[in-house]
Amino acid sequence: MSSAGNLIRESRASSGLSMRGLAARAGVAYTTVQRIEKGNLDPTVGMLSKLLRAMGRELSFVDDAAKFPTIAELVDVLTQHDEVERIDWTRLRIFTDYLSWHPELIGPATDHPPKPSGSAFIDNLLAAITETVCDEAGMPRPPWTKTVYPLEQQSHVSGTPMMQHKSLKETPPQFLSRGLIVSRYDLWRTESLTTAGS
């Protein structure tokens, strides 16, 4: 039996309709409903939608390929080129931008912990980003952030004393509590994405 056949049969049974009752309500032939339920006919999207609407349901599509960034995928933002370690700040900004556009995905995007990166700085950076986006959205922090211990020594910022002071001043409290000095504007836009395009 096709999955469409299963869907129609199960929906019909839970709606308390007979095959003939569903056919009459949907305005289709009884044999059409029968053939779909037996798996002898694959319905078109329009037919499937029509049958479901007759039972008070709506057809919706979920693209399995639809992917959104997660904090766990960012564990590899620290790369090494010619023996020099670099952080891929662009990927981190893409993540924070995406969550600014799609705040409904903050939970799913931050629930799963990243694997230990081998760098206490990166582990704390990912935890601090997670804590910040959750706090600002008024959501509970995922429990895994408590398992990432703060840096033993506060991180250092390069630049002039004035630049260092500015970075310290612009560092979110979630970062400071982890011993990180990272200006908010290294990761988040100065204005929200919703107003930036207007």
Q: What is the pLDDT of residues 58-110, one digit of tens each?
A: 776 655 445 788 999 999 988 777 777 788 888 899 899 999 888 999 999 99
**CB of 43 within 8 A of CB of 4?**
yes
Strand-pairing partners, residue 78, are 87
Residues 177/80, Cβ–Cβ less than 8 Å:
no
The percent of residues above 90 in pLDDT, for the chain, comes to 51
Which of these, 157, 110, 156, 153, lies nearest to 132 by C-alpha position?
110
> For the chain, how many residues are written?
198
Answer with the residue of higher pLDDT: 176 or 13: 176
CA distances to 15, 37, 126 from 47, in Å = 18, 13, 47
**Contacts by 94-98, CB closer than 8 A, 24 or more apart:** 94/69, 95/69, 95/71, 95/129, 96/129, 96/133, 96/187, 96/188, 97/189, 97/193, 98/68, 98/69
What domains does the chain contain, in order, with CATH numbers? 3-54 (1.10.260.40), 71-196 (no CATH)
Q: Does the pLDDT at position 195 exceed 50?
A: no
State the angle between helix axes of 120-137 and 89-101 in degrees (0 to 180), rounded to the nearest 10.
20
Predicted structure pTM score:
0.64
Query: Where do the H-state alpha helices sit in the chain?
Result: 3-15, 19-26, 30-38, 45-54, 89-101, 106-110, 120-137, 161-170, 173-176, 193-196
- Provide the pLDDT for residue 190: 65
Mean pLDDT over 10-22 rounds to 88
